[in-house]
Structure 1
Amino acid sequence: MNIHADFSQKAVVNTHEAPWLPSPMAGVHRKPLDRIGDEVAIATTIVSYAPNSSFPKHAHPAGEEILVLEGTFSDESGDYSAGMYLRNPPNSSHTPYSKEGCTIFVKLRQFHPDDSATIRIDTKNTAWYPGLVPGLSVMPLHEFDGVGTALVRWAPNTIFNPHVHPGGEEILVLEGVFHDEHGSYPSGTWIRSPRYSTHKPFTKSEGALIYVKTGHLNHKLDR
């Protein structure tokens, strides 16, 4: 299965409008954003666990990244409520489930093979740092081999400088509305911009909170 599989092209998905597709397990549904492969795939996905649903134990040979969007996601290592950021490194394994139900943003098989850290960050209780322009606040989540992941909070009416992303950029709008000269992206929008893409982002009266990953499109993915 190939979905937005050409990483040299920009992709934009309103995840609130995308249909839920069944997974192999009852009660677990998915909205694929990009995907190369079938059940074992390079993938970026919104995943929904109904209350008391689960997935059998499985390994992640090339790693897994999770941002909990709603509810509580669990596995044998703990319970993770909305706002938790998780990284399970290459060759890790777990048995995920949710008692109350949850929605998560998941990236699979997109790790550097030497990126071996297990990470758990509660973004609801982690410090913000000033960004490069007034009105911008940044919460770094992870950095490895030129790939950076962060949450970025935009105050209303913030304007950033025009800039280029040599290694590409990926955004999930979590709150508010994010804008650039190419369009307006409300909460729930996923944007993947290719290597050497450029833009001049800004916000209007709503402000925005976004998940951002940069540099990862420079790396060969584990196909």
Structure 2
Amino acid sequence: MLINADFSRRAELPSEEHQWVKSPQGGVERVMLDRVGAEKARATSLVRYAPSSHFPRHQHPGGEEILVLSGTFSADDEHYPAGWYLRNPPASGHTPFSDEGAIIFVKLRQMLASENRHVAIDTYDNANWQRVGSREVCPLYSSEHSLDNREQVSLQRLGADEVLFSDDLLAQLTTGGAELLVVKGTLIEGHQTYNKDSWIRMPTATAATSSSIKAGSQGATVYLKTGHLAQVIGADVEDLDV
């Protein structure tokens, strides 16, 4: 299955266009954002757990990244309410479930084989936020790879009408691209409004990009990942680890 599998091209899915599809596991549905592979795939998805649903225990050959958007997501004996950010490195595994139901943003099989850190951050804890210029930022992950191909993940709180890509951020996007999910509020790009849970992937950014995407009148909180597309832009899908 190929969904938005050409990583050299922009892809997006506004939340009003979401189509939830059943997974092989009862009570679990997905919105597929990008995908290379069948059931075991390099994939970016929104996943919705009905109350008392679960997945069997499984491994993460290429790692797993999760942001809990609503409800409570559980894995083995750990419970993560909305706002938790998780990274399960390659070769890890778990039994995921949700007693009350949950919606999570998930990225599968997209980590370097050398990544070995488990990350668990409560983004609702103000102690995890810091002031960077005019905005608040919650750093989530920064790889130890080369400066030319460094994955960086954060939540960004924007004020009303504030542009997303500052000059500092724009410098990170020229080779490694960007991916974002609207967590709260809205983003505006021209005549297009991106509401909560809208997703955009951009292989590169230009000076025009820096001023074309901004928060709506009530501000926005945005999941932002940069630098990670350099390793897949232009790659044949057969070369991706699925």
Normalising by structure 2, we get a TM-score of 0.86
Written as runs of structure 1 = structure 2, the 5 A alignment for 1:129-144 is: 129-132=130-133, 134=134, 136-144=135-143
Provide the aligned length of Structure 1 versus Structure 2.
221
Q: Secondary structure at the match of 1:130?
A: strand
CA separation of 1:197/1:54 partners in 2, compared to 1, >3 Å: closer, same or farther? Answer: farther
- Taking the aligned partners of 2:120 and 2:216, their CA distance within structure 1 comes to 32
CA separation of 1:34/1:182 partners in 2, compared to 1, >3 Å: closer, same or farther? Answer: farther
Of all paired residues, the percent bearing the same amino acid is 45
Q: What is the CA RMSD across the aligned residues, in angstroms?
A: 1.7
- Taking the aligned partners of 2:15 and 2:190, their CA distance within structure 1 comes to 21
- Taking the aligned partners of 2:166 and 2:83, their CA distance within structure 1 comes to 28
CA separation of 1:40/1:168 partners in 2, compared to 1, >3 Å: closer, same or farther? Answer: same
Q: Which amino acid aligns with 1:131?
A: V
The 8 Å contact of residues 19 and 31 in structure 1, kept in 2 or not, is answered as yes
* Higher relative strand content: 1
Give the superposition deviation at 1:205: 1.6
Q: Secondary structure at the match of 1:110?
A: coil
Q: Which residue of 1 aligns with 2:217?
A: 205
Query: Any idea what the Cα deviations from partners look like across 1:8-40, whole Å, max 9, x if unmatched?
Result: 111110234311111111101111000000001
Q: Which amino acid aligns with 1:149?
A: V
Runs (5+) with no aligned partner, structure 2: 233-239
Q: Which amino acid aligns with 1:205?
A: S
- Taking the aligned partners of 1:202 and 1:7, their CA distance within structure 2 comes to 23
Segments of 4+ moved more than 6 angstroms: none
Q: Which amino acid aligns with 2:130?
A: Y
Runs (5+) with no aligned partner, structure 1: none
- Taking the aligned partners of 1:213 and 1:103, their CA distance within structure 2 comes to 19
The 8 Å contact of residues 122 and 128 in structure 2, kept in 1 or not, is answered as no
Normalising by structure 1, we get a TM-score of 0.93
Which has the larger displacement, 189-198 or 60-69? 189-198
Q: Which amino acid aligns with 2:110?
A: Q
The 8 Å contact of residues 128 and 139 in structure 2, kept in 1 or not, is answered as no
Give the superposition deviation at 1:137: 1.3
The 8 Å contact of residues 195 and 218 in structure 1, kept in 2 or not, is answered as no
- Taking the aligned partners of 1:182 and 1:195, their CA distance within structure 2 comes to 21
Query: Any idea what the Cα deviations from partners look like across 1:147-204, whole Å, max 9, x if unmatched?
Result: 0000000011324546351201000001111134584322221000013555123224
Give the superposition deviation at 1:77: 4.1
- Taking the aligned partners of 1:219 and 1:121, their CA distance within structure 2 comes to 26
Q: Which residue of 2 aligns with 1:22?
A: 22
The 8 Å contact of residues 64 and 87 in structure 2, kept in 1 or not, is answered as yes
* Higher relative helix content: 2
Written as runs of structure 1 = structure 2, the 5 A alignment for 1:119-158 is: 119-125=119-125, 126-132=127-133, 134=134, 136-144=135-143, 145=145, 146-158=150-162
Q: Which residue of 2 aligns with 1:222?
A: 241
- Taking the aligned partners of 2:166 and 2:64, their CA distance within structure 1 comes to 32
Q: Which amino acid aligns with 1:130?
A: R
- Taking the aligned partners of 1:27 and 1:74, their CA distance within structure 2 comes to 15
The 8 Å contact of residues 185 and 216 in structure 2, kept in 1 or not, is answered as no
- Taking the aligned partners of 1:16 and 1:65, their CA distance within structure 2 comes to 24
